[in-house]
Amino acid sequence: MTAVALTARTARFRTARFRTVRALRLEIRHSAVVWVLPILAALFYVNAYRTAAGYPPTWTLRASVITQANLAFSSMIAAGVAAWVATREGRRKTGDLLATTARAAWARQATVLAATAFWMVLAYLAGVAVIYVQTALQATWGGPPLWPVAVGVVAVAASCAIGFTCGTLFPGRFTAPIVAVAVFVAWFVGVNAANSVNPDNVSNLSSLKGTSALLVPALLGRPPDVDAGVYYHVPPDVFIAQVMFIGGVLLVMVGLFALLPAARVPGAWGLSFAAGRRLTVVAAAGVACGVAASATAFSLAGTGQYSLTTGWEIPALHDAAGDQSVPYTPDCTGSAFKVCIHPAFAPYLGAMSAALQPAAAEIAGLPGAPVRAEMTPGYSPPAVAGTASVYDYSVEQEGFSGGFWATPATARTADWEQGEQQDFITWFVSGPAEQDAPGLTTPAQEAVAIALLARIGAPVPSYPQFSQSITAAASGFESLSPAARHAWLAANIAALRSGTITLAQIP
């Protein structure tokens, strides 16, 4: 190619780029998406924002919202609006006029699709920004995960492409609502499928097998535990597979859209493609690449394996170097009895200490009495009482579902504190927390625990074998002098834990 020809080609490219940018600017300025932004904002506030605000400020958990509630509504509206926008030329009766212009129909329509996707992705990212900024202001550990954002952006763009292609193919007035509802229904079908591989809903973790449900964006790769991503990084395997799968769908839709509308230009002679053979080849290649990407992701998802520490892993995508636990130095408070917490939950340290210190003081000096309380990952079993000087607690155990972790300001309630004290005393008297092993507590253990709890002002827990005789024994034990009670416990705590002390033996 000569220099002159190259210069001319460059000039043509610049001119074409200028026209594309100007046309895109016009479409962005007049996009119908602007009219649905208030609806998107309202749905975001009601569903995503309030949900995120109710979660503790850990990045992985908060980020789960952006691929769940936020993405569900964004995708639905993106598909509906895109389908509506695609029918614009028919609704506005500009078909004849536009058919006489030189620009290919697919290129003209692609600009409209791009403007729609621009607004929808921007709106989605604005929602992500709100959640991330709020989290950044509250979080004390870690940083914003970007893979869920990538999944969300690709999913919103794919929803736009699905809606637009459907609107182009079926330019009826009902296309937009039908497409929106279909995407919404598909979303919940996917969420149901994802729930089937969510370890929170599975009793036998060894039965978990990788399935296509891993490709549902609502699935994070591990359940949204409070401490997800805190002790171990969440591997990006599932996110990569999701981006591959949804990106493949996006490519297929854009490719189909580029092929089909060109053949439907009102003025086209026969079925010739407006932009010629090159477009056909490029679009067909796009469709083929999209199918290949989605199919690959589909098969990769089937190879998924569940890890107790990091969640779902896909061997072909997994980087084992990232499996190391994340080092941290716990934040601690107290002297005789130290209460320690993972720095991700540092704002809750005061509440946890205030709850445990009175209970710890009541049993201080007894054989096996803990000198330290430490937060451990939710999946690791707590140490058995009497065998360690550390009381282990996890975020899951500490009432995530009860709303304790909502925000540090609202965390400390009397109910919650008393619950903590019950867990602590029950653990000391009978072993692991009774709520996890309710059948293990003997009447004698219950009576002693009730008495100790009464000493620190906590109400009687709903123990499984609760009866009048237990209450009576507890009252008797409580009425002993502290020294007598302490002496009896020092002598009998091991026998009490082993279940050999009867109710009648309690003084």
Partner 1 sequence: MNIELTDVTRTFGRNKAVDGVSLAVGPGVFGLLGPNGAGKTSLLRMLATVLPPSSGTVRLLDRDPSRPAARTEIRRRLGYLPQNLGYYPSFTVAEFVEYFALLKEMPAHQVPKAVAAAVERVDLGPRAKARLRTLSGGMLRRVGIAQAIVNGPDLLLLDEPTAGLDPEQRVAFRTLIRDLGQHATVVVSTHLVEDVGTACSEVALMAEGKVVFRGTPDELTAQGEGHQVGDSPLERGYSAVLAASREQVAA
Residues that bind partner 1 (CB under 8 A): 14-15, 18-19, 22-23, 26, 29-30, 88-89, 92-104, 108, 266-267, 269-270, 272-274, 276
Which C-beta is closer to partner 1: that of 270 or that of 327?
Answer: 270
**Minimum separation from the CB atom of position 343 to partner 1 (A):** 52
Q: How far is the CB of 267 from partner 1 (least distance, A)?
A: 4
Instruction: For residue 338, report the phi and psi dihedrals to the nearest 5 degrees.
Output: -90, 135
CB of 104 to partner 1, least distance (A): 8
Return the HEC string of 199-257: HHHCCCHHHCCCCHHHHCCCCCCCCCCCCCCCCECCCCHHHHHHHHHHHHHHHHHHHHH
CA 416 to chain centre: 25
Shortest reach from residue 167's CB to partner 1, in Å = 16
- Nearest residue (CB) to partner 1, 90 versus 499: 90
3-state secondary structure of 333: strand
CB of 128 to partner 1, least distance (A): 28
Residue 374, helix vs strand vs coil: strand
DSSP-derived letter for residue 376 is: -
Q: What are the tokens at 71?
A: 């993405």
Nearer to partner 1 by C-beta: 24 or 371? 24
Looking at the Cβ atoms of 174 and 269, the one nearer to partner 1 is: 269
Tokens encoding 18: 């200028």
Least distance to partner 1, CB of residue 287, Å = 21
The nearer residue to partner 1, 276 or 464, going by C-beta atoms, is 276
Cα 330 to Cα 340: distance, rounded to the nearest angstrom: 6
> Closest CB to partner 1 among 84 and 428?
84
Strand partners, 306: 312
> CA 241, 246, 251, 253: dihedral to nearest 10 degrees?
150
d(CA 337, CA 455): 18
Residue 305 has φ and ψ, to the nearest 5°, of -130, 145
| Angle at CA of residue 475, ends 472 and 479, nearest 5° | 145
Distance CA 294, CA 238 (A): 13
Min dist. Cβ of residue 274 to partner 1 (A) = 7
Least Å distance, CB 177 to partner 1, is: 22
Helix axis angle for 482-498 and 414-430, nearest 10°, is: 60
Tokens of 164: 């637009």
C-alpha–C-alpha distance, residues 498 and 507, integer Å: 18
Min dist. Cβ of residue 61 to partner 1 (A) = 41
Q: What is 116-172 written as a DSSP string?
A: HHHHHHHHHHHHHHHHHHHHHHH--S----SHHHHHHHHHHHHHHHHHHHHHHHS--
Instruction: Name which of 97 and 336 has its Cβ closer to partner 1.
Output: 97
Query: Nearer to partner 1 by C-beta: 230 or 274?
Result: 274
Closest distance to partner 1 from the beta carbon of 21 (Å): 10
Q: Which is nearer to partner 1, 24 or 332 (CB)?
A: 24
Q: Which is nearer to partner 1, 63 or 283 (CB)?
A: 283
